[in-house]
Chains A and B, each alone.
Chain A
Amino acid sequence: MAIVINGSGTVTGLAVGGLPDGTVDAGTLADDAVVEAKIGANAVVTAAINDDAVTNAKVAANAIEEAQLAANAVVTGKIEDGTIAAGDLASGVGGKLVKSTLAYNNSTRQVFSLSVGLQISSENFRTPSGGYHYFTCTKSSSSSTLVLNFSLSIGSVQNNHVFAVWRTSGSGSSTTGVANFTRLAFDSMRNMGTGTATSEVMGGIVAMTGLSTGTHHFWFSFGRSNDGSSTKYTLNPDTNEGSDKSGSTKSTIIINEIEM
């Protein structure tokens, strides 16, 4: 076909491939001239995509699959708080931690004088006002084990009969009645601190299996018989307890829920 240059400014008669290589440059192409249908399959290679050119809005929902993630690509800072549920944790040797409750972690000195025992015997349990003695833990799995870890720094114990850790099946801090209490740990140093004030670190671990889901209640008790005399002790003793025992101390109670 003959090439005809019309007076209207058009050229006809050009065959496909009729223009020499390198003849049409970028400046010759009209704006928005290259539409999707004109881009060949696999025509756009990685190097042809500008840095930062692909924005979040251009990534389809669920487009990024596991295979697209590089090894170690997801760092801790990219995991939202509360995202990983207990069910997403793998079961491994030694079980998995379902939940850890920091029930008490404090170094504030507290001196107690209690005339009616925190001891549980024939009398009902006495609830000290504003003390650290009562804690709760909400258990999420019926098959898990609750592990109670405690370390209490105690000083200047006077006229004390027992130290014990209890779990109650009743309705929380108002629970009374011996039958509602299960003793978990017990120090029967009777007359501890009688005559001479003594200091102790009360610590231990208690594992509890077979407990139902829901809230469980724990008590830490010091006390004596209900005989009208008072028992005294200092939680987290510091320099007030003597210049030869300088510095503060700390007590911690952690309740862990573990799938063994």
Chain B
Amino acid sequence: MSIFIDAIDSLKPNAEWKIVGDDLYANLEWLDSVKTKPTESELTTEVARLQAIYDSQDYARKRKAEYDQLNQFEMQFDDKENTTTTWVDKINEIKGRHPK
């Protein structure tokens, strides 16, 4: 799902609605008879808020993608066996390339 849809969910959890076409306010058809449709302004503001949160976590997503490529348990075991610091060095190197 997109940030646009996340924003609808954030403003109106578990509401009934439908989008036909791209994620645009004009394409949002409101089906819920209890919860009211958010205004375009409310939705735009919420999209911006969620986008900012998403963007602020860009470094974390990049770090995680690289962490997932490592066999960290094996690195830690080998470091202990060999008295080396390859695991700590690699983690620091990744953090350095993707700072907060």
Contact surface of A with B, Cβ cutoff 8 Å: 108-116, 128-131, 156, 158, 197, 228-230, 232, 234, 240-241
- Shortest beta-carbon distance from B92 to chain A in Å: 29
**Neighbouring A residues of B14 by C-beta, 8 Å:** 113, 115, 228-230
Sample of 14 further A-B pairs with CB below 8 A, known A111-B1, A131-B18: A109-B22, A111-B5, A113-B8, A113-B17, A113-B18, A114-B31, A115-B15, A128-B31, A129-B29, A130-B18, A230-B13, A230-B16, A232-B5, A241-B2
**Neighbouring B residues of A116 by C-beta, 8 Å:** 16
User: Is B19 interfacial (CB-CB < 8 Å)?
Assistant: yes
Choice from A110, A128, A158, A197 contacting B19 with Cβ under 8 Å: A110
Q: List 10 A-B contacts (CB under 8 A).
A: A108-B20, A109-B19, A111-B23, A113-B9, A113-B14, A114-B16, A115-B16, A128-B18, A131-B18, A234-B1
Q: Roughly how many angstroms separate A98 CA and B31 CA in the complex, as a whole number?
A: 38
| Contact A232 B16, beta carbon cutoff 8 Å | no
Q: Could you tell me the dominant secondary structure of chain B's interface residues?
A: loop
**Neighbouring B residues of A240 by C-beta, 8 Å:** 2, 22-23
**Neighbouring A residues of B17 by C-beta, 8 Å:** 113
**Neighbouring B residues of A241 by C-beta, 8 Å:** 1-2
| Number of B positions contacting A (CB below 8 A) | 19
**Neighbouring A residues of B32 by C-beta, 8 Å:** 115
Q: Roughly how many angstroms separate A4 CA and B22 CA in the complex, as a whole number?
A: 106
User: Is B21 interfacial (CB-CB < 8 Å)?
Assistant: yes
**Neighbouring A residues of B1 by C-beta, 8 Å:** 111, 156, 158, 197, 232, 234, 241
Q: Roughly how many angstroms separate A111 CA and B18 CA in the complex, as a whole number?
A: 5
Q: Please name the residue on chain A nearest to B21 by beta carbon.
A: A109
Q: Please name the residue on chain A nearest to B2 by beta carbon.
A: A240
- Shortest beta-carbon distance from B86 to chain A in Å: 31
